[in-house]
Amino acid sequence: MGLRINTNILSLNAQRNLNNTSRSLGKALERLASGSRINRAGDDAAGLAISEGLKAQRRGLGQAVRNANDSLGFLNTAEGALSEITNITQRLRELAIQAANGAIGAKERGFLDDEVSALLEEFNRIASQAEFNGTKLLDGTFDSTELQVGVNKGETITFTIGDARTSSLGALAILSGAQNQLGSSFSGLTLGAAATSISPNASSDSLSHLGNGYSSIAVAAAVNAQLGVTGIRADVQDTVLKINALDTITMGTVAAFVDGDFSINGISIVGSVATVDDMLDTINDFSSSTGVKARLVANSTDDIELYAEDGRNVVVSVVAGATAAGEVFNIFDDAENIQSAGGLNVLFTAAGVASSGLTDKIYTGAIQISSAETVIIGGTNTSAAFGFAEQVIAVDSDNAIFSIDVSTQESAQDALQTVDATLSQLNGLRSGLGSVQNRLESTIRNLGISLENISAAESQIRDADIAAETAELTRAQILQQAGVAVLGQANTAAQVALSLLRF
């Protein structure tokens, strides 16, 4: 390598390496000062894009947790007010029981009635004034609302509370044991406490509409699945179908049921029948498969009824021309309890031939529907369809809990019934709130786990490794010191050429 004085290559090389070292030193200092491995897009373009997405998700999860906690406070406020209202109602029940006792006089009942009035005023005050952040909770103005508890659209929890004022609680309308209850119309209504107003409404909205063949169990399950939203409860009653043995039965003559002639719930009933007891035994032999049992009708020696205790459908099928020699049985609707698509009349004649065929006639168990609100039930009002006939079961608020008094023994008894209905409704309201509270607590725990995992993933990409960066800083500092020393030597290297010019 020749000696040159115009261009100092050694110095330029030392300067370049010193600049690189200075940049490394500055980056290490920046990462240590900020705690972040990525401080600009150039540090890691792909990592920045991924970490920004994770950052948005992390911040969204944090807000979702705060939303859920705010919602818990909202629900806790409502539940606290309902808890105190329940305590008041329990005291009202004690007073009603005390006033119903014939051992106390009218004067004492007057004192009890005064306390009842005072408690009802406080009851109504709490329900009317309970609020959260300016929102009334229990006065009936709070509609169904959605709680945003996720980071994306649609990740919500929907709930409602209901009206807890004294003008709304205590009135209960119940529909049970109705003829053709799932058929073309409602009748035979049984009213609960303080429910007096029931009227049809041909233009009402539908609560539920069921196609042909749906069971009472499925209906009740579908209704109860929306209990927290609608406040409507459905309970399944027994399904009962009578088989009427006519006077022309010749006892002792064997009637043979051949496979496929007569079936219950799709199971062929096969056997020989000479007596009513034989008929009972034959049907009950297949009860484990059909879910249907047979028994004698009360106060009868020859009338049999089929029943399904769990309310399942009873599907009866008889083939036209089925042989049942010597027996006459008439299978028909029980107007007191059976809901069917139309009249059923299958006769096993004395000649032993079914006079008409019956394929899959469905008998549906009665459903009891109860609610503290006006119940709107809709469906097609024809005898051919299994569905709810359109009807409005309205509650008369004039007889709600605010109207109770215990001034007489009789009114105390009535008050007790209304208070019990109120307690049941309050328990339903609190139960609904409790389920949402538990759901929110589970949501908060799940969000916390997600937040932790997302934060860890973001940190892995974005955050600086302090140990590694400290080592890099030390290395850069040493190289910088060495670079400065070498640069000094390189800058003086050209002076060697001057020694050649000395004489």
pLDDT at 256: 59
353 pLDDT tier (thresholds 50, 70, 90): very low
Let me know if residue 21 belongs to a domain.
no
CA atoms within 13 A of residue 164's CA, in its CB half-sphere: 34
- Of the candidates 84, 139, 91, the residue with the CA atom closest to the CA atom of residue 404: 91
Where a domain ends, among 363, 387, 421? 363
* 157 and 194 co-located in one domain: no
Phi and psi dihedrals of 316, rounded to 5? -105, 130
Of the ranges 165-179, 350-364, 420-434, the best mean pLDDT one = 420-434
- Highest-pLDDT range among 72-86, 213-227, 255-269, 361-375: 72-86
pLDDT of residue 278: 80
Q: What is the CATH number of the domain that holds 74?
A: 1.20.1330.10
Rounded Cα gap, residues 12 and 385, in angstroms? 97
Distance in angstroms (rounded) separating the CA atoms of residues 283 and 208: 34
Question: What's the average model confidence in pLDDT over 308-325?
Answer: 64
The whole-number pLDDT of residue 461 equals: 93
Do 404 and 117 meet the contact criterion of CB atoms below 8 Å apart? Answer: no
Has residue 144 been placed in a domain? yes
pLDDT of residue 242: 56
In a domain, 68, yes or no: yes
**Same domain, residue pair 210 and 322:** no
Domain-embedded: residue 468: no
Supply φ then ψ for residue 352, to 5 degrees: 85, 25
Under the banding of pLDDT at 50, 70 and 90, the label for residue 368 is low
pLDDT band for position 208 (cuts 50, 70, 90): very low
Type of residue at 188:
G
Do 350 and 414 share a structural domain? no
How many domains does the chain divide into?
3
Query: Pick from 352, 354, 328, 356: which is nearest to 342 by CA?
Result: 356
Helix, strand and coil percent figures for the chain, each rounded to 5: 45, 20, 35
> Are 120 and 183 within one domain?
no
Taking the C-alpha atoms of residue 12 and residue 9, their distance in angstroms, rounded to an integer, is: 5
**The predicted structure's pLDDT at residue 344:** 37
Same domain for 72 and 155? yes
pLDDT given for residue 503 in this prediction = 62
Q: How far is CA 53 from the centre of its chain?
A: 33
Distance (Å, whole) CA 398 – CA 408: 19
Q: How confident is the model at residue 198 (pLDDT cuts 50, 70, 90)?
A: very low
- Mean predicted confidence (pLDDT) in 11-26: 93
Residue that terminates a domain, selected from 306, 338, 363: 363
Residue 374 located in a structural domain: yes
pTM, 2 dp: 0.52
- Residues 180, 99: one domain? no
Per the model's pLDDT, the better-predicted residue between 488 and 279 turns out to be: 488
With a cut of 70, say whether residue 53 has pLDDT above it.
Answer: yes
Q: Quick one: pLDDT at residue 28?
A: 93
> Stretch 212-239: mean pLDDT, rounded?
56
Both 194 and 304 in a single domain?
A: no
pLDDT band at residue 96 using 50, 70 and 90 as cut-offs: very high
Q: Where are the beta strands (DSSP E) in 83-166?
A: 131-132, 135-136, 145-148, 156-159
**Average model confidence (pLDDT) across the chain:** 73
Domain span at residue 318? 239-363
Q: How confident is the model at residue 48 (pLDDT cuts 50, 70, 90)?
A: very high
Mean pLDDT on 158-167:
84
Q: What are phi and psi of 144, to 5 degrees?
A: -60, 135
HEC-encoded secondary structure of 22-70? HHHHHHHHHHHHHCECCCCHHHCHHHHHHHHHHHHHHHHHHHHHHHHHH
Query: Same domain, yes or no, for 204 and 346?
Result: no
Spatial separation of the C-alpha atoms in residues 276 and 394, rounded to whole Å: 46
**Interval 348-359 mean pLDDT:** 40
Angle, helix 409-462 to helix 106-129, in steps of 10 degrees: 20
Do 181 and 124 fall into the same domain?
Answer: no
* End residue of a domain, out of 431, 454, 477: 454
| 82 and 138 belong to one structural domain | yes
- Does 76 lie in the same domain as 158? yes
Residue 224 belongs to some domain of the structure: yes
How high is the pLDDT of residue 328? 43
| 81 and 188 in a common domain | no
Is the residue at 346 inside a domain? yes
The answer to the question of residue 472 being in a domain is no
